[in-house]
Amino acid sequence: MSVMLEFRKVSKVYYLRRGFLAPKKPFYALRNIDLAVHENEVLGILGESGCGKSTLARLALGLETPEEGEVLLEGINFSALSEKERRKLRRKIQIVFQDPYASLNPRKKIYDLLAEPLIIHQLVPKKDLRARVGAMLTKVGLREEDMERYPHQFSGGQRQRIAIARALILSPRVLVLDEPTSALDVSVQAQILELLREFKEKSKLTYVFISHDLPLVLFLSNRVAVMYLGRVVEISPAESFMARPHHPYTKMLLESVPEPDPYKRKLPKVKGEPPDPTLEFSGCPFFPRCEKALSSCEKEVPGLREISKGHLVACHSL
Amino acid sequence: MNILEVSALNIFYSKSRIPVVEEVSFFLPAGKTLALVGESGCGKSLTGLAIMRLLPTGLEITGGQIHFENKNLLELSPEEMRRVRGGKIAMIFQDPMVSLNPVFTVGTQIAEVLELHRGLGRQKALAEAERLLAEVGLPAPKARLKAYPHELSGGMRQRVMIAMALAGNPKVLIADEPTTALDVTIQAQILALLASLKEKHNLSVLLISHDLGVVATLADLVAVMYAGRLVEKAPCEELFSKPLHPYTRALLEVLPRPEKKSLKPLPGQVPPPGARPAGCKFSDRCPSAQKKCFEKEPPWQEVFPRHWVRCFYVSDA
């Protein structure tokens, strides 16, 4: 199993100004991320807002450059490349965003939206473009004639199919899915999930599936990485995730998800809120909310340790 | 005893006369939580707003009754309705950033409710506001009185909204997607808060949600809406264990679960008002639709005690 995409000690800093005259403060969106995505797997990235999961996606696509560390796609470092080479490499990794109302240019026909990547990367002779776009549309469950229409003529679910078609038309190796169903109703979400699942079964695509929704991530993924405040706190195979989550934050997440079953009703005691990410602190990011915190948690950041095969946890109390 | 009774509520677009919500009838028993569930565009939020008589312009109530304390809310004068709204019936919304006024402090906004509905003076009102903020679990309530909404996190803002709703000593709380904008760990806190406040104040709650997990956590009764209609209503446990309407069953089947290998998605999507099929509104997506379903709308009937369904072919699942 070869590594498709790799993050090596990656940190990403943004500088934020809080108020008109206030000095800019560094804000670590990602801190020291070590993560490998293997060929042909679905890696789920689970986390709440502000945990850095979308920044991770932007770095994976080479849309942002990390301040520290490197991001490698099939062993090639994005930041070491020229803009031209970077663009070429990007063909191999594509993304589907959350909001299909914002990610499709409303003034372009579906044909133009789907043909543009092919033209930019000069993959298909001009005379074959229409056939290629038509074939892609049928693959995602739309009709060939839909290429003559505009995005506003489609529903949210159909637009997300178009976004998936646009990503897949370049035959990428890795598909990053950043909350691809969060804007959709459950019945439409199921259609998109099934489409993604079927594509996965048929091809050797690698997925990075980013979501805040735990059951959703576990449904689609082989492995799950849990993020909290810019760090990966746990990586686990999806099968054993429910049975033995080890990080206290992962446990909190699992307890918090309400079960769609009145016989399993629970009202857990959940402590605190995530702290302001611009504040500097030296210890474990979860320390202020953690039930199991030790004195060392306040001073020292725990690193990821393998506690059983393929299961890594960043916690001092284990 | 029912505290709120909605019968045959109809909501139409004023101009085009296109029906949006039709023939919605339900009772909210005192001290219970009734959940209105459905996907976007099914009319659940409009039903909540209609009870408060807060429908957006362009929509109007064209029929039905909403009984609360032996009065039809639809017949109250605007002045009488103002006293009910925010007083005996309070409402909280999905996005507390939009529902709180950004230019007033939290304390001022809660005090306003107390002055209006309970006739308190400013000083007493502020003291009571502080007590309410403490009750909803906001840390450092005294200092927070002077905070503006943008200085608070999403979870804290929702706590402020809940404090404001409690300020009028309500009997009924309408909670429209109260945790949808929140992260899951914060959602768990707000759900626990709502559950404990409901017990403490003997509130009757109309919970509007698309999230079956949230519904299963809080509701005593569940009513499922589809395309502007109620399609099924039952006690919570029964609805989840014995769903009778094909749409309710589909909703449960399309939920992604870790143990599921695949999902059985429904084809198509919820039809918008004006494009709803003749006959049963679910007929175009229903896996078990028969000829009759496309021609006639099924009646709303009680097929088992307290279990209502709108379907010709109720199968005993």
Mean pLDDT along residues A216-236: 95
Mean pLDDT along residues A37-60: 94
| Contact state of A193 with B263 under an 8 Å Cβ cutoff | yes
What is the Cα–Cα distance from B317 to B302, expressed in whole angstroms?
16
Identify the pLDDT of residue B315: 64
What is the Cα–Cα distance from A266 to B31, expressed in whole angstroms?
20
By mean pLDDT, which of A99-108, A276-285, B28-37, B294-303 is the weakest?
Answer: A276-285
What is the Cα–Cα distance from A259 to A267, expressed in whole angstroms?
11
- Determine contact, residues B170/B87, Cβ cutoff 8 Å: yes
Mean pLDDT along residues B105-116: 96
Identify the pLDDT of residue A27: 87
The answer to the question of residue A67 being in a domain is yes
Q: For chain B, what are the domain ranges?
A: 2-88+170-309, 102-166
For all residues of chain A together, what is the average pLDDT?
93
Going by the DSSP 8-state scheme, the letter that residue B245 receives in this structure is: S
Identify the pLDDT of residue A78: 87
> Tokens at residue A11, please?
């940190």
Mean pLDDT along residues A285-292: 91
Identify the pLDDT of residue A277: 77
Mean pLDDT along residues A183-188: 91
| Closest alpha carbon within chain B to A258 | B213
B89 phi and psi, to 5 degrees? -120, 120
Asked if B97 is an interface residue toward chain A (Cβ–Cβ < 8 A), one would say no
Identify the pLDDT of residue A242: 86
Enclosing domain of residue A61: 3-92+172-240
Whether domain B2-88+170-309 has CATH 3.40.50.300: the reply is yes
Q: Place B317 in a pLDDT band, splitting at 50, 70 and 90.
A: very low
Mean pLDDT along residues B241-248: 96
CA distance B58 to chain A (A): 23
Mean pLDDT along residues B102-122: 96
Mutate to test the interface with A, among B254, B257, B266 (most CBs of A within 10 A): B254
**Residue B140 confidence (pLDDT) above 50:** yes
| Closest alpha carbon within chain A to B183 | A48
Which residue has better confidence, A296 or B235? B235
Question: Closest partner residue to B266 among A187, A216, A258, by Cβ?
Answer: A187
A259 phi and psi, to 5 degrees? -80, 135
| Contact state of A273 with B155 under an 8 Å Cβ cutoff | yes
Mean pLDDT along residues A190-203: 93
Identify the pLDDT of residue A188: 92
The answer to the question of residue A19 being in a domain is yes
Residues 6+ apart with CB under 8 A from A159: A100, A101, A104, A151
Whichever domain contains A204, its CATH number is 3.40.50.300
Identify the pLDDT of residue A23: 83
| Closest alpha carbon within chain A to B212 | A260
| Closest alpha carbon within chain B to A185 | B39
The answer to the question of residue A280 being in a domain is no
For all residues of chain B together, what is the average pLDDT?
95
Q: What's the complex ipTM?
A: 0.90
